[in-house]
Amino acid sequence: MITAEPLLFAQAPFDRLTDAERRYLLSAAQVAHFPAGAELIGPGTDATHLFVIDTGQVEERVGSELIRRYGPGHRFDLRGLVHGPNDRRYGTTDETACLCVPRLVLLDLIRANAGFAALIYREVARMLDPVASRAEAGQVNALMTARIADAYLQPAVFIDGDETILTAGRRMRDNQTNALLVRDRPDHPHPFGIITGMNLSKAVVLNGKPLDTPVRTVTHAPLVTIRPDAFIATALQLMTKHVKRRLVVTDGDSYLGILHEIDLLAFFSTNSHVIAGRIELATDLKMLEPISTQIMDAVQTWHAQGLKVTILNDLVSELNRKLFQKAYGFLAPTDFRDDACLIVMGSEGRGEQTLPTDQDNGLILRTPVPESALEPFRHAFAHVLERFGYPPCPGDVMVRNPMWSKPLSAFQTEIRRWITLPDEDSVLRVAILVDAAAVAGDHGLLDQLKATVFDCLAGNDAFLSQFARSVDTFASPLGWFQTLVTEDGDQRDALDLKKAGLFPIVHGVRTLALQHRLPETGTVPRIAALRRIQVLDAAFAQDLTEAYEFLLDLQLQSKLTKRDGGTVMDALVRPRLLSAWHRAMLKRAFQITLRFRDLIRHRFRLVMY
Amino acid sequence: MRYPTFPCLLAGLAAVPSSLTTLPAMADAITGEVERQPLNVAAIVMFLVFVAATLWITYWAAKRTKSAAQFYTAGGGITGFQNGLAIAGDFMSAASFLGISGLVYVSGYDGLIYSIGFLVGWPVILFIVAERLRNLGKYTFADVASYRLGQTEIRSMAACGSLATVALYLIAQMVGAGKLIELLFGLPYEIAVVLVGALMIIYVTFGGMTATTWVQIIKAVLLLSGASFMALAVLYQTGFSFEALFREAAAIHPHGTAIMAPGGLVSDPVSAISLGIALMFGTAGLPHILMRFFTVADAKEARKSVFYATGFIGYFYILTFIIGFGAILLVSNNPAFLDTAGDLIGGTNMAAVHLAQATGGSLFLGFISAVAFATILAVVSGLTLAGASAISHDLYASVFKGGVVDEFAEIRVSRLATIGLGIVAIGLGILFEKQNIAFMVGLAFAIAASANFPVLFLAMFWRGLTTQGALIGGLVGLITAVTLVVLGPTVWVAILGFQEAIFPYKYPALFSVTAAFLGIWVFSMLDRSARSQAEKIAFEAQFVRSQTGIGIATATQH
């Protein structure tokens, strides 16, 4: 019998949870038993659960240095859950039983219960403080990268100290805010304090002050200010230190707004479950229509929150696939709905398409289906997705195109031809297909199709070599003396991240995955699998993953900026606009890419071309 | 009138001490003392300019292939035409260019027979090797041979055969380049070889390892256009009349009309057949040529590329023939190119180089020297690639590390192997200065035909081939070839100074190739192990794939 529950709910912040929330937590949590010497959270790994110890003992270490011991009733690692991986290792010293609360459940509760959330973040902020001062050089972390300007700010509305409580109340109502900045005189630029709705209520209701009392007398001073480019984590620390719920965001002499603790917490809690729920509950196509815009907006928020870009990709591709699956369910005739497999290919299949771009999809049929049933579906599906905000694929790799929606046997024949008698597009097509992931219908059909691709390529070094050759399509942006070489022509000062780094990594990893028959489709999972089968050594796999994630993140950042600016969302970045630190990281990422290209060039004998 | 025997002609060609009376066949030789000449500054400047230009074009072409608009390289691979040019580039060494034209200069018609011998190897590749090699989708000869056989054994054997061939071929190029630089710059031979070797190492490690197909294509085009221009210049002198060319040449040449008829080459049937076998099957066993079928899109393009390559190579040999006769006409009676004894300055192998000056002046001399030099550089890069692959992939990764190897370690070994091969080539190039390098090339062809070709051929066509048979038979071929050459007149008598050769024939291929085939057959038939049974069963899948390109089952992975 587990006894951790009473222990858990007796202590802050879990004592703030309502009964319903406690039941939710318990229903989602699991009890796990670990032998002595087990590693619960390794250094650098993502914490997936909050562990609450029931019996046994756990040690927290950095390297060999013991930081803390945890006994029954203790919990860890809250910091890791909110803040991302760190250098700590949590291992059992005795046989240990733990209550494991999934991270998402915890985040749900944070969103639902503001009091609980406030305490959690206060605790995290407290934990972060020594970390920040320890200056973990080079270690960027999710929370640290989000800035004040990314969060929701209440407007900065002013009131003069001599104005009345009544005026203040009206002004709050008119401006839909519950805090005002109080200044001495209208011509005095700098406010000296802040007044909140709660202050007004207390003054009038509890202290019986008249409504014409000047606000000056109930104003809280001094103001705690913060710059818009400061990190979110700094805001949390300031709030904790000054015991304030609000910070005033200033840039020089201008007052940009008021950051409220609640908004800071909301900032962390946009959850994919809401969108997923909407897809799930949709009863017709009309209800699916706004989803893709919502996904786009959520991406912006998540990214601003400092969510790791690979996790972001996972979330988005999960949502996209749910959406496609639902649409397939509405549109596919029952004749073949369950005897076919809807697949997404290319970047969508790898789960690396953050912002909805082109449709890359296809349909594998178990047996031939009369054109009369198939043709209307082909067009309806492509049309609906286009309406949803997924533009048609320029290469027409779509269900709409009979070439990509046909029986399994026809696909297999064609694949043999692509590989035995390669033509212009063979490499591209194999690349698209090998990244395919099943979305709806009979997933086994895609497995059979992929087995055919792998069989055709087994030992066919010459085709694999021609396939691999594309990693060398573009020159490395690293010039002599390790300078960054930018594009020619009208993009003179820009650098295409896709050409320079992302594509070579994705394609090289894909080629290795093809050679070794890996079922994974994502680049990061493929790298992990290649590491497991010792094709890549552990250290290099790590470097490569980090380089890839860094480039991906930079690309997303650039695209989101461009989305805001209304320009084309391409992968161009301008190195001179980056910080010195980003530029250095960029070079490092390109160095690793270059090393990886060397590996691919050597393994697939690209020297011969 | 009695025709002078072929060996005597060769001796004259080589201009080596008269004690070396019998010389082996592969007469694309560049040997002999090069006398220090006053520097021809104009030619040197042109030489440097053209070498620099060639390197720049290569760099530009390599870069150009990397600035595509598409993410995926279009098409499966190199086209048949491009690959044909690249193969021709790999095959037409400076030794052939300078050596065969020199041979024609000395003996006329026999030189043509010689170049035809080289050509005969190509139909063998066309009909037997090219298509199947591409269908199997393998990179090197070792990859094909070990497709269904034991990796360790076959790769060790194949690596030995490849390295022996590559080393001997490399020496010829080194000596050729050394002589050329010695003549042009007036440097001591040793310094010239070290300089050339260092340049090659730098080129291969830093530049040459990129886009080798382009390097070969550019080089082939340069060589073909340079030689064409020279041939045109010669024909211009004779009013584009071959009849006039031959008539005047016969009038000038000391042997008279004898240069228009076969000489000593076909006088001894055993030697002639033996030479024929080496030339015919040697080409199909040259590791750097076999690698060229890896890059084409499919079997059809592989066939096409041999077709084009044969055309270019044939055309090239016709040019060398014209150039040789042109040299008789324009160089042999011009005192500017002759030393006090009336011999050609720099040896007869410099006939083409002198002809360049005679037809186009110092500018053209610089150009042709640069082309010859670029040719050597390109051939060396192809050879080094094959050698480095044998060392890093076959020996280091597959044999010593049992196939489990860190890729970066293999890359490092490959780079070290390149440098190592370069240093070995410099050393041997200096050591063999006085030797007839035609002999080295001849041995290279003989070894390729004896050690590599039988294993490759039987691996593709004979179900009964087993690891044991291939290993022993391949080694028998390799050892027989080397031993017979050492015991034959060329080494035993001419170099080691014994009175009589233990093995009477100059060319070992007839015997060593037979020994290899016999060895493979006998030891495969004797192999009754369970493993050999599995290998025989695996033949089916390999055979289907080699004929159609379609894999019917999961092939052996390595």
**Binding-face residues of A in 474-503 toward B, CB within 8 A:** 474-475, 499, 503
Distance, in angstroms, between A536 CA and closest chain B CA?
A: 8
Residues of A in contact with B406 (CB under 8 A): 537
What is the dihedral angle through the alpha carbons of B383, B388, B390, B394, rounded to the nearest 10 degrees?
-160
Sorted by where each starts, the structural domains of chain B and their CATH numbers stand as: 52-548 (1.20.1730.10)
Across the interface, which of B63, B147, B294 has its CB nearest the CB of A462?
B294
Calpha distance A410→B90 (Å, rounded): 42
Calpha distance A88→A76 (Å, rounded): 11
Return the structure tokens found at A580: 């010195």
Return the structure tokens found at A252: 């020089």
**Binding-face residues of A in 437-466 toward B, CB within 8 A:** 455-466
Percent helix, percent strand, percent coil in chain A, to nearest 5: 55, 15, 30
Q: What is the pLDDT of residue A200?
A: 87
Residue A461 to residue B138, Cβ atoms within 8 A = yes
User: How many CB atoms neighbour CB A88 within 10 A?
Assistant: 20
Angle at A85 between CA A80 and CA A89, to 5 degrees: 80
Residue A424 to residue B75, Cβ atoms within 8 A = yes
- Which range (A45-54, A406-415, A505-514, B294-303) has the least confidence? A45-54
- Residue type at B433 in one-letter notation: E
Q: What is the pLDDT of residue B207?
A: 56
Give tens-digit pLDDT for A66-89.
777 787 777 888 777 776 777 788
A16 touches chain B (CB under 8 A): no
Calpha distance A434→A412 (Å, rounded): 13
Q: What is the pLDDT of residue B267?
A: 67
Contact A361/A342 with Cβ under 8 angstroms? yes
DSSP single-letter state for residue B278: H
| A192 vs B433: which has the higher pLDDT | A192
Give tens-digit pLDDT for A449-505.
999 999 888 888 888 998 998 888 787 787 766 677 766 555 667 788 888 889 999
Residues of B in contact with A474 (CB under 8 A): 66-68
- Write out chain B's pLDDT in tens, 558 residues: 343 333 333 333 333 333 333 333 333 344 445 555 567 788 888 888 888 887 787 777 666 555 555 666 655 578 889 999 999 988 888 777 887 888 888 888 877 877 787 888 898 888 888 999 888 888 888 888 888 898 889 999 999 999 989 988 888 888 888 888 888 888 888 998 898 888 888 877 765 455 578 878 888 998 999 999 999 999 998 888 888 988 888 888 888 888 888 776 656 788 888 888 888 899 999 998 888 888 888 888 999 999 999 999 999 999 999 999 999 988 888 888 887 777 777 777 778 888 998 888 888 888 888 888 888 888 888 888 889 889 988 899 888 888 777 788 888 898 899 899 989 889 888 887 766 556 677 778 888 999 999 999 999 999 999 999 999 999 999 999 989 988 888 778 877 788 888 888 878 899 999 999 999 999 999 988 888 888 888 898 888 888 888 765 444 444
Calpha distance B29→A243 (Å, rounded): 93
Calpha distance B285→B148 (Å, rounded): 19
Residues of A in contact with B68 (CB under 8 A): 473-474
B59 touches chain A (CB under 8 A): no
B225 touches chain A (CB under 8 A): no
Tell me which residue of A163, A193, A161, A200 sits closest to A178, measured CA to CA: A200
Mean pLDDT of A266-294: 71
B551 touches chain A (CB under 8 A): yes
A608 touches chain B (CB under 8 A): yes
A540 touches chain B (CB under 8 A): yes
Residue B550 to residue A420, Cβ atoms within 8 A = yes
Mean pLDDT of A155-161: 89
Calpha distance A37→A331 (Å, rounded): 53
Three-state DSSP at A113 gives coil
Best probe of the A interface among B63, B72, B136, B401, by most A CBs < 10 A, is B72
Measured between CA atoms, the residue of chain A closest to residue B74 is A424
| A222 vs A437: which has the higher pLDDT | A437
User: How, if at all, do strands A254-260 and A96-102 pair?
Assistant: unpaired
Measured in residues, chain B has a length of: 558
Residue A534 to residue B404, Cβ atoms within 8 A = yes
Angle at A385 between CA A381 and CA A389, to 5 degrees: 165
| Phi and psi, residue B68, nearest 5° | -70, 160
Taking only Cα atoms into account, the Rg of chain A, rounded to an integer number of angstroms, comes to: 28
Distance, in angstroms, between B556 CA and closest chain A CA?
A: 7
Q: What is the pLDDT of residue A133?
A: 34
Q: What is the pLDDT of residue A470?
A: 86
Residues of A in contact with B211 (CB under 8 A): 609
pTM: 0.71
The end-to-end CA distance of chain A, in Å, is 67
**pLDDT tier for residue A106 given thresholds of 50, 70 and 90:** confident
Q: Is A57 exposed, middle or buried (0-12, 13-18, 19+ CB in 10 A)?
A: middle
DSSP for A289-345, please give it.
Answer: TTHHHHHHHHHHHHHHTT--HHHHHHHHHHHHHHHHHHHHHHHS-TTTGGGEEEEE-
Distance, in angstroms, between B293 CA and closest chain A CA?
A: 9
Element (H, E) at A259: strand A254-260
Residue B68 to residue A473, Cβ atoms within 8 A = yes
Calpha distance A122→A89 (Å, rounded): 23
**pLDDT tier for residue A126 given thresholds of 50, 70 and 90:** low
B211 touches chain A (CB under 8 A): yes
- Residue type at A258 in one-letter notation: I
Calpha distance A170→A162 (Å, rounded): 15
Distance, in angstroms, between A546 CA and closest chain B CA?
A: 19
Calpha distance A496→A504 (Å, rounded): 12
Residue B411 to residue A421, Cβ atoms within 8 A = no
Mean pLDDT of A185-209: 85
Return the structure tokens found at B88: 């021709």
Return the structure tokens found at B279: 């030339």
B542 touches chain A (CB under 8 A): no
Asked whether the CA dihedral A589, A591, A597, A602 is positive or negative, the reply is negative
Calpha distance B394→B158 (Å, rounded): 8
Calpha distance A343→A359 (Å, rounded): 11
Residue B407 to residue A603, Cβ atoms within 8 A = yes
Q: What is the pLDDT of residue B516?
A: 96
Calpha distance A65→A79 (Å, rounded): 19
- Residue type at B298 in one-letter notation: D
Contact A147/A236 with Cβ under 8 angstroms? no
* CB proximity list for A75: less than 8 A, separation 6 or greater: A8, A50, A51, A52, A53
Contact A420/B550 with Cβ under 8 angstroms? yes
User: How, if at all, do strands A361-365 and A405-407 pair?
Assistant: parallel
Q: What is the pLDDT of residue A377?
A: 92
Residues of A in contact with B404 (CB under 8 A): 534
DSSP single-letter state for residue A46: P
Residues of B in contact with A426 (CB under 8 A): 76
Measured between CA atoms, the residue of chain A closest to residue B406 is A537
Reading phi first (left if > 0) and then psi (alpha if -120 to 50, else beta), residue A156 is in beta
Tell me which residue of B192, B169, B332 sits closest to B253, measured CA to CA: B332
Across the interface, which of B213, B298, B406 has its CB nearest the CB of A421?
B298
To the nearest 10 degrees (0 to 180), the angle between helices B80-91 and B299-330 is 40
Return the structure tokens found at A282: 């949709």
Residue B408 to residue A469, Cβ atoms within 8 A = no
- Residue type at A237 in one-letter notation: Q
Distance, in angstroms, between A142 CA and closest chain B CA?
A: 32
Calpha distance A98→A92 (Å, rounded): 11
Contact A40/A98 with Cβ under 8 angstroms? yes
Q: What is the pLDDT of residue A267?
A: 53
Measured between CA atoms, the residue of chain B closest to residue A596 is B408
Q: What is the pLDDT of residue A134?
A: 33
**pLDDT tier for residue A566 given thresholds of 50, 70 and 90:** low
B69 touches chain A (CB under 8 A): no
Q: What is the pLDDT of residue B434?
A: 65
